Structure formats: structure tokens, C-alpha cells
Amino acid sequence: METSREQYVDRDEWPLPDSTAATGIIITTVSFLFFQIAAFIVDRCLKTSSSFLNNPKLHWRWKNVFISLTHAAIVSVCCLICFCLTPKLTADMISTHTPLSHGTVALSAGYFLHDIVDMVVNDWSRKSLELLIHHVVILIAFSFPVLTYKSVGYMLVALLVEINSIFLHFRQLLTIHKVDKKSSLYRLTSLLNLGTFIIFRIAALCWMTRWIVINKAQVPFFFYVLANIGLTTTTVMNIILFYRCLKSDFICHANTSTTNVKLE
């Protein structure tokens, strides 16, 4: 059953959490604990059954990527179900929400909190700093719909990026396992990663930017500023990530193939 609340009149207003905010906090906490326990179980399984991951750094990376893949798969399915069952979420992205849509956003907030803790404890470095900053900004942005039940639809659009993350993380696992880049599995994964990247990261991000500009007067100023910071941060990261994937899977591969042809 969907719920719709009145839109904001004063865009400078910060809606204080009401009694229902406890639901979002509980779901976020349970989600955080779920991913913590899942990471612990994966860690135990790797230590007892894996002989090829003797490197502690590689061991942690495999675990982290696998948990990220799990989150991406769960959230992608939930987002698609939400939009299919409640088309109004796309028409009214400010006030409309359902228990599942709100729960999906809260679940992701719990995951990002888990990933922040995991990286701080196990991968504190300059290289991971950009991802940490991104996660912190996203977590703060997610706290708005989690506590106020506002802009849930907008955040669900942002979470469609997880559809691409499924292929992105699977590609990372293939890389960790040193799967041949010329293999059919790797090539298919690379193509799906590139295609979904363009649709669910680049195109979706452009649409979100357009929406927040058009609906500037309908959202609180705090959320507007936070959304713009998040969009800017994500845009920069996506440009870098897209270039890395393109260079690794297509540009370098094409150059290698050309070199081999010349040698023949």
C-alpha cells in the first residue's frame, strides 16, 4: 500500500523525524548488522576453504567485493519491484513511498555504513579515500528519506546504479581470479558492464541532475545542497571509473590485438 504526504511549502524547512523515523533507523541498523555478519561468514569460509587467497589484502578485497555484489543484487531487484508495483514513484518522487521502497533505501544506508567501517578498519589508504568520501556523502543523503520518508522515489532512481554494480563487481571477481580477458565470460561481462554503466550510471545521473534543478523549489534547501554535492562527487567518480573500465577492457585489449596482428 502506497503512502503520499503533503509536499513541502517552505523549502528551508528541515522536517524533524517523527515517530515513524524509528522504523528507518531500525531497518538501517538491522541491515548494517546483516552485512557485518555476512562479511564475517564469508571471511570464515575463505579461511577454511580457499587455498588461492593467501594474500591478506587480496583475501579482504574478495570478501568486500562479494558483499558489495550481494548488496547490488538485492537492491536492484527491490528497486525494479518498487517501480513496477508503484509507478507513481516515478511521477511523484518527493512524497510517494511504500514500505518496500523506504525499506530498500534504509537497507542501502545500512550497507554503506557497513562498507565505511569495513574500509576504515581494513583498507585505510589514500587510494580508498575517494570511495570513503563518496560513501559518507551518500550515507548523509540517504538519512533524509530514511528519517523523513521524503524523496524516496528520487533515491530509488539513484539506487538503479546497483544494476550496473552487479556486473562491475562480478568483473572485479573475475579479475581477482585472473580469468583470461579474451574468454567469452569476461568479454560478455565487460560488455554488460559497459552497457549498464551508460544506462544506469551516466544516463540516470544526467536525469537526476535535471530533475533536482527543475524541482529545486519543491525540496528543502538542505536536501538540495546535499543532492548537488552527491551528484558532483558521483559524477567525478563515474568518469574516472568509466575511463578505467574502458581502458582496461577495450582500449588496451584493442592495442594488444593490433600489436599481435602486426607481429604476425
Q: Which of 46, 42, 45 is nearest to 67 (CA)?
A: 42
Contact 77, 100 (CB under 8 A): no
The pLDDT assigned to 263 comes to 35
Number of other CB atoms surrounding residue 156 within 10 Å = 27
Q: Is the Cα torsion angle 119, 120, 124, 130 positive or negative in sign?
A: positive
Count Cα neighbours of 35 within 13 Å in the Cβ-side half-sphere. 28
Does residue 192 have a pLDDT over 50?
Answer: yes
> How far apart (Å, rounded) are the C-alpha atoms in residues 142 and 226?
10
Q: Which residue has the cell 540516470?
A: 204
- Pairing state of beta strands 96-97 and 3-4? antiparallel
> How far apart (Å, rounded) are the C-alpha atoms in residues 242 and 17?
38
> How far apart (Å, rounded) are the C-alpha atoms in residues 212 and 231?
10
Distances from the Cα of 139 to the Cα of 83, 86, 115, 155, 157, angstroms: 22, 25, 11, 11, 15
The pLDDT assigned to 255 comes to 53
Give Cα 147 to chain centroid, integer Å.
19
177: helix, coil or strand? coil
DSSP string, 72-98: HHHHHHHHHHHHHH-THHHH-TTTEE-
Q: Where are the domains of the chain?
A: 20-163, 184-264
3: helix, coil or strand? strand
What percent of the chain shows pLDDT beyond 90? 58
Contact 189, 174 (CB under 8 A): yes
> How far apart (Å, rounded) are the C-alpha atoms in residues 220 and 25?
21
pLDDT band at 16 (very low <50, low <70, confident <90, very high): very low
- Over the stretch 218-250, which tens digit does the pLDDT of each residue have? 888 888 898 898 899 889 889 988 998 888 888
> How far apart (Å, rounded) are the C-alpha atoms in residues 130 and 251?
25
Q: How far apart are the first and last CA of the chain?
A: 65
- Over the stretch 123-149, which tens digit does the pLDDT of each residue have? 887 778 888 988 999 999 999 999 999
The pLDDT assigned to 45 comes to 86
- Over the stretch 152-177, which tens digit does the pLDDT of each residue have? 999 999 999 999 999 999 999 999 88
Say what the pTM is.
Answer: 0.86
